[in-house]
Amino acid sequence: MTIVEDAPAKINLALHVRHRRADGYHALETLFAFARDGDRITATPAEQDSFAIDGPFAAGLASEGNNLVTRARDRFRAQVAPVPPVAITLTKALPIASGIGGGSADAAATLRTLARLAAVSVEAVMPVARALGADVPACVLGRTSRGVGRGDELVELDGLTDIPLLLVNPLVAVSTAAVFAGWDGIDRGALATGDPMAAALDGRNDLEPAARAVAPVIDTVLAMLAAQPGVRLARMSGSGATCFALFGDGAQRDAADRTIAAAHPDWWRLASRLA
């Protein structure tokens, strides 16, 4: 039995950094949303464990012996339930270190896959997800949600599905640690509650200035996205460098995709919709 699990791109529609916690993490308030597209995990029972990577961004991970996927597999066995050996393939379609949760989404898809193999609930994997990373629980859930604490205390939200989405990355890897280290430490206020689109429009990404200092090309990406006809919201996701725009309809999104492709054919783009 082969199991296939999608690992869709994670988007922070807003990301407010409130303060640095005593445990070293930052207190966050964020709106998570997910694209319909991203990476993919394929798992097949086998005589022994194996892990392979293919896809357009496979080369960036091929040399890593301790990938988040294999860590998720090993911790699932140790902490959730035994599963037989599996051959796992990660199809890597999302850029590396890009602020859209690629590694977290891959780990989350692995946990969901193993939960299916072991016939346990998704809720059973959440303690492992939290130990693997602050974004992993949201990626396990895979639905629009508000995250607080480290970003791993989640409340599901409705109202943002099927919105046309364009992701753009200038193919510059940005270190999450470097961006958080560059945050200026100023608390600019809480993320609004209530209607999630209104909260997103009223919100901000407090990591944008630090990310722009690391990768100034983010300025160019954001300016191009914001200038496209039909844009409802243009912002950087996570710690960058991927930026996104939400559009009023799919035709406007596709026109923006063509415009940016013509101006910067070397940039990565993904035309999708919110899941």
Least Cα distance to 12 among 36, 37, 29 occurs for: 29
35 vs 163: CA distance, rounded Å: 9
The encoded tokens of residue 82 equal: 């035994």
Selected catalytic residue, list 135, 152, 206, 257: 135
* Catalytic residue list contains 202: no
- DSSP tag of 122: G
- DSSP tag of 65: S
Using an 8 Å Cβ cutoff, are 28 and 15 in contact? yes
Using an 8 Å Cβ cutoff, are 28 and 251 in contact? no
Judging by DSSP bridges, how do beta strands 243-247 and 164-169 pair with one another?
A: antiparallel
* Catalytic residue list contains 92: no
Judging by DSSP bridges, how do beta strands 86-91 and 26-45 pair with one another?
A: antiparallel
81 vs 72: CA distance, rounded Å: 12
* Beta bridge pairs of residue 51: 88
Least Cα distance to 245 among 213, 267, 274 occurs for: 274
Selected catalytic residue, list 10, 39, 92, 152: 10
The residues annotated as belonging to the active site are: 10, 135
